[in-house]
Structure 1
Amino acid sequence: MAETFLALLDEVLYGVVQISTTLLEFFGIAVLMATALKCFYFWLKKNTQNIRLDLAQGIALALEFKMGGEVLRTVVVREWAELGILGAIIVLRAMLTFLIHWEIKNEKKEG
């Protein structure tokens, strides 16, 4: 009976993580698309004063959502190979986020 209960809990956890990961990745995509459309609109209107800064901040926020999804995904990893791939993805996204935040900081200094 205990094994059946643990198996059920494992399935519930897996389902919750899958749904949460998908939602976080969807939020990241939504933030990126909304930011890109807003910046494109401002570019068409020739209002390019802070367009690079706005775009960089939107990309950084979208990456944070995507990275949150990857971190959640590590909860249900079953094999070391999967964990290695997820670790590499997290490191790459963290590096991108760091570089974008560095770019934002420099853009704010210039502006």
Structure 2
Amino acid sequence: MYEILENAFHTIVMYSCLLLEGIGIAIILYMAIRSLVLLIRGRKGVGMGLAKGIALALEFLLGGEVLHTIIAEDLQQLLVVGIIVVLRVTLTVLIHWEIKTEKAEEKEA
């Protein structure tokens, strides 16, 4: 009985990870295509929209990585997931900083 529940839990977490990562990838692709179209049309502020989309996508990807920590089977897997989380958090912070800086520059102009 315990093995059945453990397998079910593992399966649910794996599919949840895939779902969150898929949403993150979809957001990145959508925002990249949208930004390219806006860039071709000559619109301003394209970079800001793309940065916001990437930041949102990273939140979903980070959620998937956090779920991966639940099912990590050994210390090496946990370490790899931890490194990925640190990298994604760093990227998210940098992107939010860039957005904040760009907004401040727009207010000054």
TM-score bracket for this pair, using the shorter chain length = over 0.9
Secondary structure of 1:46's counterpart equals coil
Partner of 2:39: 43
| Percent identity over paired residues | 42
Residue 78 of structure 1: how far off its partner (Å): 1.1
The CA RMSD over aligned residues, in Å, is 0.6
Equivalences for residues 1-111 of structure 1 within 5 A: 5-47=1-43, 49-111=44-106
| Structure 1: stretches of 5+ with no match in the other structure | none
| Structure 2: stretches of 5+ with no match in the other structure | none
Q: 1: CA distance between counterparts of 2:8 and 2:65?
A: 18
Secondary structure of 1:38's counterpart equals helix
Q: 2: CA distance between counterparts of 1:52 and 1:44?
A: 13
Residue 59 of structure 1: how far off its partner (Å): 0.6
Query: Which amino acid in structure 2 is aligned with residue 41 of structure 1?
Result: V
- The TM-score normalised by the length of structure 1 is 0.93
Query: Which amino acid in structure 2 is aligned with residue 40 of structure 1?
Result: L
Aligned residues: 106
Q: 2: CA distance between counterparts of 1:74 and 1:101?
A: 25
Residue 95 of structure 1: how far off its partner (Å): 0.3
Query: Which amino acid in structure 1 is aligned with residue 49 of structure 2?
Result: D
Q: 2: CA distance between counterparts of 1:60 and 1:40?
A: 17
- The TM-score normalised by the length of structure 2 is 0.95
Structure 1 consecutive aligned stretches of length 4 or more whose deviation exceeds 2 Å: none
